[in-house]
Structure 1
Amino acid sequence: MSDLATKPDLDSNLEKHRVELTGYCYRMLGSAFEAEDAVQDTLVRAWRSYDRFEGRSSLRSWLYRIATNVCLDMLNAGNRRARPMDLSSPQTQATAVLNTLPEITWLEPVPDGRVLPATADPADMAVAKESVRLAFVAALQHLPSKQRAVLILREVLAWKASEVAELLDTSVASVNSALQRARATLAANEIRESDAADPLDADQQKLLERYVAAFEGYDMDQLTALLHEDATLSMPPFDLWLHGPADIRAWHLNQGIGCKGSRLVPTVANGLPAFGQYRISEPGDGHDPWALQVLEISGGKIVGLNAFLDTERWFPLFGLPEHLDAEPDQS
């Protein structure tokens, strides 16, 4: 093709694949921002080399081949995204030390709309949401990069082994072997279960309503009652994490007491219920961003409280307000 400008529909045809490619790259890289960079690079490469695309595969397959190569190149740098629970043992509230690690260390949250294509099939959507849960994406980071690609393509996107082999320029036997090893690694890591929560069922909605009431009222007895006995609290970019209701309660009443008086604005992240947390502003004229809270729920209890503190990155990405005005005096 001599003149790409003669293909006015090319941009729109490429753009149709942006969300699903972002979901794929997010699972591969564990970073919302790196995933968007990878997809942009993929689409630019596709646009520039479209004259060499001879239609021997579908446009979608060709884009996944490019995206895979982009991600593998990015992963060659050796960085593996993680959660605090992957890097250290839990601390206790009494001895907790806040160490900050670089941004590239951490698994990042992502808005559902950026990575989950619309589908009319509830079963397909359930699989898609399951595959972007924080715990699942964190487990993927333990896999070598090519095993990671094979597992995502085969188990999440339901590609045939022959299709994956063609994409990776390898054999079906190699694909099947990589998939077997990837499954074994995930099984050994024991991915923590959390219930699907988008849309919420009636019990989950009540649980979240109780959580909001307890957190905004700073009633730690009520909040503790909502926690599973194995609940965890993490706060990237700090490597600190706490385990169990007693230490989580103690944290909020001691080092975390500044959260008293916070307000919560609901959103959704990684197929999980989430909230923008706003603490009382220094001038006292409303509330300012403090954390993106992502909650993991299982069996009617909260099993994970994940507070991502870099609000300058997260709040714009999730479309959360920059400030909450003071509520009118009801007296």
Structure 2
Amino acid sequence: MSDLVAAQEPDSRLEQYRKELTGYCYRMLGSSFEAEDAVQDTLVRAWRSFEKFEGRSSLRSWLYRIATNVCVDMLNAGNRRARPMDLTAATPVAQAQLTARPETTWLEPVPDGRVLPSVADPAEAAVERETIRLAFVAALQHLPPKQRAVLILREVLAWKASEVAELLDTSVASVNSALQRARATLADSPPAASDPANPLDEEQKALLERYVAAFEDYDMKALTALLHDDAKFTMPPFDLWLQGHDDITGFMLTIGAGCRGSRLVPTVANGTPAFAHYKPAESGDGFVPWALQVLEIEDGRIAGLHCFLDTDRWFPLFDLPPRLEKADG
């Protein structure tokens, strides 16, 4: 019995860090699935080496050291993740073509519940949520792996420079230099701002209610009133992206017209409001998954509408039903 307890102790001690490590690896990698793989690899390595852990640093620091090494190795082996607007110019709706790229190209959405640990301090919780936004994680992908790790550890997780230096086996001066370079890179192309969304205020709730009504009614006039003039619309795995409400609604009335009559189910992703988009089934019986919509809200209007179409991956990840019956809509 004592052997069983001894085996369970490292498991439980390591497992308590899974969620925060997933958030760290997601920011590093830009992929929800790769982040989970990296964390699993981290915990397996830690479990196998647990008896060798000497306790000179905290267990948490030791796990972050392993996770950083795992992520850096993964980043050195592949390309950085991106959004469509990071790769091409906006396309006028009249020239719109749907060209798919491999799924490894794209920055991926992530459910809040998998990466945001419970934090008592509202200011700390706000930083955690702000730094998993699609725009912020996309900006991180422009940084070399070590700079990315330094910036996340120092500015998101509030580690001391000495702690980061110990983790990376480098000097405090080197950490400070890497942080300065990372800040300069982000300053050249800063992530777009967004309105705080935790919890949603009454104005934001009303905006989302109007959005659902406009989308489900396919009322383009009502939808236009909710969008910023330069709102962005993306739909990975296609590299097409549109800017401006005229092109967005024009697309929805032409190539995207099959979405008329859809239903939206609320969820949350990347610290922002999101919806599971169910399209009418061809049989006419109920609704089938079509996209995970992640919204960005700025100054009380919708600034970004990002539709991730690979529903075989996203709907199970977000624990969304595989279809809706008519009564559910």
Q: For residues 33-52 of structure 1, what are the structure 2 equivalents within 5 Å?
A: 33-52=33-52
State how far apart, in whole Å, the 1-side matches of 2:4 and 2:234 are. 49
Match of 1:131 in 2: 131
SS in 1 for 2:195: coil
Unaligned runs of 5+ in 2: none
Deviation, 1:190, is 2.2
Q: For residues 241-260 of structure 1, what are the structure 2 equivalents within 5 Å?
A: 241-260=241-260
Match of 2:108 in 1: 108
Residue 146 and residue 328 in structure 1: after superposition, are their counterparts in 2 closer, same or farther (change >3 A)? Answer: closer
State how far apart, in whole Å, the 2-side matches of 1:305 and 1:199 are. 20
Deviation, 1:8, is 2.4
State how far apart, in whole Å, the 1-side matches of 2:193 and 2:258 are. 31
Match of 2:314 in 1: 314
State how far apart, in whole Å, the 2-side matches of 1:214 and 1:8 are. 52
Match of 1:14 in 2: 14
Match of 1:58 in 2: 58
Match of 2:79 in 1: 79
Match of 2:146 in 1: 146
Q: Match for 1:153: what amino acid?
A: L
State how far apart, in whole Å, the 2-side matches of 1:195 and 1:88 are. 26
Q: Deviations over 1:97-133 (max 9, x none)?
A: 1110000000000000100001121111100000100
Does the 8 Å CA contact 1:281/1:288 hold for their aligned counterparts?
A: yes
Does the 8 Å CA contact 1:290/1:309 hold for their aligned counterparts?
A: yes
Deviation, 1:226, is 0.3
Runs of 4+ in structure 1 deviating by more than 3 angstroms, as ranges, are none
State how far apart, in whole Å, the 2-side matches of 1:15 and 1:58 are. 15
State how far apart, in whole Å, the 2-side matches of 1:198 and 1:312 are. 28
Residue 35 (structure 2) pairs with residue 31 (structure 1): no
SS in 2 for 1:6: helix
RMSD: 1.2
The two structures have a TM-score, normalised by structure 1, of 0.97
Does the 8 Å CA contact 1:21/1:39 hold for their aligned counterparts?
A: yes
Does the 8 Å CA contact 1:20/1:116 hold for their aligned counterparts?
A: yes
Q: Deviations over 1:42-65 (max 9, x none)?
A: 000000001111000000000000
Match of 1:277 in 2: 277
State how far apart, in whole Å, the 2-side matches of 1:181 and 1:119 are. 29
State how far apart, in whole Å, the 1-side matches of 2:5 and 2:52 are. 15
Residue 92 and residue 168 in structure 1: after superposition, are their counterparts in 2 closer, same or farther (change >3 A)? Answer: same
State how far apart, in whole Å, the 1-side matches of 2:291 and 2:30 are. 19
Q: Deviations over 1:288-326 (max 9, x none)?
A: 000000000000010000000000000000011100001
Match of 1:216 in 2: 216
Does the 8 Å CA contact 1:84/1:234 hold for their aligned counterparts?
A: yes
Match of 2:196 in 1: 196
Overall identity of the aligned pairs, in % = 72
Deviation, 1:328, is 8.4
Match of 1:228 in 2: 228
Does the 8 Å CA contact 1:275/1:294 hold for their aligned counterparts?
A: yes
Residue 207 and residue 328 in structure 1: after superposition, are their counterparts in 2 closer, same or farther (change >3 A)? Answer: closer
State how far apart, in whole Å, the 1-side matches of 2:66 and 2:26 are. 15
State how far apart, in whole Å, the 1-side matches of 2:4 and 2:62 are. 17
SS in 2 for 1:8: helix
State how far apart, in whole Å, the 2-side matches of 1:190 and 1:161 are. 23
SS in 1 for 2:101: coil
SS in 2 for 1:297: strand
State how far apart, in whole Å, the 2-side matches of 1:191 and 1:8 are. 43
Does the 8 Å CA contact 1:198/1:273 hold for their aligned counterparts?
A: no
Unaligned runs of 5+ in 1: none
